[in-house]
Structure 1
Amino acid sequence: MLHYVQINRLSENEDIKLPVKMSELASGFDLHAAVDESVVLMPGERKLIPTGFAIAMPGGLEAQIRPRSGLAFKHGITCLNTPGTIDADYRGEIKVLLINLGQEPFSITRNERIAQMVFQEVPTIELVQVDELSDTVRGSGGFGHTGK
């Protein structure tokens, strides 16, 4: 099913690339940094990085912000709050919360690819309060109860 998502490039970001899929069958759209000057992330440091655009999605969709695997593997740069959820009613600038889990400082330059955005359908859910839940084999076991 085709969904139309409106995108608005914010002023003073005309040079920032809009989200783009890097291959024909890619799931995510790569996002680019809209920083005015290079930003250095020291090991253990986190910063909110602007992307220079905003979107309007129809109800029933969400956008998820996820790390780029290459940055994570090569430099230890990843996203906090992953995946970050952008709700259909949010109209502000999309920003990416990055953290440096690597050993070296990492510089983020203008227009550098920093994360990816994946769109997902969101089902309509109605929560129903009950006095008791049905039993399962697993029950309330969690956090490694089945082994390592």
Structure 2
Amino acid sequence: MLDVQIIQLPGNEDIPLPVKMSSGASGFDLYAAVSEPVRIEPGKWKLIPTGVALSMPHGLEAQVRPRSGLALKHGLTVLNSPGTIDADYRGEIGIILLNLGEQPYIVKRGDRVAQLVFMQIPDVRLQVVEQLDETSRGTGGFGHTGK
């Protein structure tokens, strides 16, 4: 079990802290800490504050991901999905919500708008080499298998 510290930023005491909605859930639901309703027109995006900030140990990343219900019912997604929160970031978590639906969407204070999933990040060192090892795939990409 890894410990992640969280603070509720001043003026957001009425906003729930991120919470897993079931015992098997991977993500913690994030809530909108907007001061007034925010209208997101089709094809547009808005930055939605959450009213919380984190302190994570190095080697951990928090990813902001869309909520499947909002995606299915309203066409809402996270623009930079998954959004990355680095271990050394201490500011408020913000969500860039994108409306891919056909109708405007109104975000209200306290709405569940995204989810937060924690991932362990390996300590990687890039090594410059003269040549890469060969594989059967080689440089094939972007649909190279014809499917």
Shorter chain as denominator, the TM-score bin is over 0.9
Q: Supply the AA of the counterpart residue of 2:140.
A: G
Unaligned runs of 5+ in 2: none
Match of 2:136 in 1: 137
Match of 2:25 in 1: 26
Residues 76-100 of structure 1 show CA distances to partners (whole Å, capped at 9, x for unaligned) of: 0000111111000000000000000
Pairwise mapping of residues 50-61 of structure 1 onto structure 2 (< 5 A)?
50-61=49-60
Q: CA deviation at 1:47?
A: 0.5
Q: Supply the AA of the counterpart residue of 1:65.
A: V
Task: Tell me if 1:5 matches 2:9.
Answer: no
Residues 100-147 of structure 1 show CA distances to partners (whole Å, capped at 9, x for unaligned) of: 000001000000000000000000111110000011000001000001
CA distance in 1, matches of 2:53, 2:8: 7
Identity across the alignment (%): 63
CA distance in 1, matches of 2:96, 2:32: 11
**Secondary structure of 2:113 counterpart:** strand
CA distance in 2, matches of 1:58, 1:8: 15
Q: CA deviation at 1:19?
A: 0.1
Pairwise mapping of residues 1-148 of structure 1 onto structure 2 (< 5 A)?
2-148=1-147
TM-score of the two chains, using structure 2 as the length reference: 0.99
Q: CA deviation at 1:23?
A: 0.4
Q: Supply the AA of the counterpart residue of 2:57.
A: P
CA RMSD of aligned residues (A): 0.4
TM-score of the two chains, using structure 1 as the length reference: 0.98
**Secondary structure of 1:99 counterpart:** strand
Residues 39-67 of structure 1 show CA distances to partners (whole Å, capped at 9, x for unaligned) of: 01010010000000100000010000000
**Secondary structure of 1:125 counterpart:** coil
Structure 1 stretches of 4+ moved >6 Å: none
Q: Figure out how many residues of one structure are paired with residues of the other and give that number.
A: 147
